[in-house]
Amino acid sequence: MYKMDEAKLKQLLEEAFQKQNPDDLDKLTGLLRGSEKEFDAALSDSQADISVALADIDMFSRINDTYGHDFGDEVIKEIAKVFTGIDASKEVYRCGGEEFLVFFEGMSKEDAFLIMEQARKSISGEACLKASATFSAGIATYPEDGANWTEIKRKADGALYRAKTAGRNKICLAKEEKLVTKTAHYTIEQLKRLEKLAGEKNMSEASLMREALDELLKKYNT
* pLDDT tens per residue, range 120-169: 998 876 656 677 899 999 999 999 999 999 999 999 999 999 999 999 99
20 Cβ contact partners less than 8 Å away, ≥ 6 residues apart: 32
151 and 124 in a common domain: yes
Residues 197 and 134 in one domain: no
Do 35 and 75 have their domain in common? yes
Asked whether residue 167 falls in the same domain as residue 222, the answer is no
- Domain membership of residue 1 (yes or no) is no
Q: What is the pLDDT of residue 4?
A: 45
Residues 102, 125: one domain? Answer: yes
Residue 144 designated active-site: no
CA 140, 63, 124, 105 torsion: positive or negative?
positive
> Do 159 and 110 fall within a single domain?
yes
Decide which of 36 and 125 is more confident.
36
Residue 117 in domain = yes
Q: What is the phi/psi pair of residue 194, to 5°?
A: -65, -45
- Asked whether residue 112 falls in the same domain as residue 136, the answer is yes
Sorted by sequence, the CB contacts under 8 Å of residue 96 that are 6+ apart come out as: none
3-state secondary structure of 33: coil
Residues 97 and 145 reside in one and the same domain? yes
In a domain, 72, yes or no: yes
* Shared-domain flag, residues 134 and 203: no
The chain-wide mean pLDDT, for the chain, equals 85
Do residue 70 and residue 170 come from a single domain? Answer: yes
N- to C-terminal Cα separation, the chain: 32
Q: Which of 98, 105, 200, 205 is catalytic?
A: 98
| Residues 210-221 pLDDT 10s | 888 888 887 787
Q: Which of 94, 70, 78 is nearest to 9 (CA)?
A: 78
Final residue belonging to a domain, choices 161, 176, 191: 176
Domain harbouring 196, CATH code: 1.10.1220
Domain that holds residue 193: 178-222
Q: Over the stretch 105-132, which tens digit does the pLDDT of each residue have?
A: 999 999 999 999 999 998 876 656 677 8
